[in-house]
Amino acid sequence: MNWTRRILAALLLSVAITAGLTLLPHLDSAQQGGLQPAFLNKGEDLTDRNIVDFMTKMQMHMRIRKVELNRSIVSIDLSANAGVAKADALQDLYELPQYIFAHTTNINQIFVRVLDMNPDPAKSAGGSLVAALDAKRDSWMPGTPRMAPVSADELSQYIQSHYHVTFTAKWDQRFKAAE
């Protein structure tokens, strides 16, 4: 009789331990606000070594002229050639912060300059400023779905409401004539 109590006690203890270990992951996920995927892409650190590969993954309408990485700030110069439409330029201004903030962990601010490249290099070697964008990570909303292809006006409203953007008179000259 004594040995049956010991076996029964050992059996109950092992069942209790197994149940406790089974509930442990559920308690952890409930504390963190729900389930999380096991292979969540948390982004990478952007460095001088991987910035070229990182930027070439993006599909841009404008050509990337220059990229500069300074700690947690990325500065990008884009070249708006004559064939770039207003919607394409706005799409690039929308995509750059979305892509960089979603896929990196160490970038907190992005400066983008859109330059109008004059075919005559004697007139302006560096190009004239068309638009400038300053995007900060705290004004970006992670987890929001990417916008489906929308009109240029909707893209412009989104960019202006989430980031600090300046359109110069050159922007108006260039894209008002195209409308």
Same domain, 23 and 75: no
Same domain, 65 and 152: yes
Mean pLDDT of the chain: 82
Sheet strands side by side (includes 109-116): 63-70, 73-80, 109-116, 128-136, 164-167
Same domain, 79 and 138: yes
Neighbours of 19 (CB within 10 A): 10
Asked if residue 121 belongs to a domain, the reply is: yes
Picking from 166, 167, 147, 145, the residue whose alpha carbon sits closest to that of residue 158 is 147
Q: Which domain holds residue 23?
A: 1-40
pTM exceeding the 0.85 threshold for the entire prediction: no
Domain CATH number, residue 59? 3.10.310
Domains: count for the chain: 2
Per-residue buried b or exposed e for 147-164, using 16+ beta carbons within 10 Å of the residue's own CB: eeeeebeebbeebeebbe
Asked if residue 18 belongs to a domain, the reply is: yes
Same domain, 68 and 16: no
User: Which phi-psi region, left, alpha or beta, contains residue 156 (left: φ > 0; alpha: ψ -120 to 50)?
Assistant: alpha
**pLDDT, tens only, 1-33:** 688 888 988 888 898 888 888 877 776 655 555
**pLDDT, tens only, 130-175:** 999 999 988 776 666 666 657 888 888 989 988 999 999 998 888 8
Asked if residue 131 belongs to a domain, the reply is: yes
How far apart CA 68 and CA 51 sit, in angstroms, is 9
Asked if residue 45 belongs to a domain, the reply is: no
Same domain, 60 and 141: yes
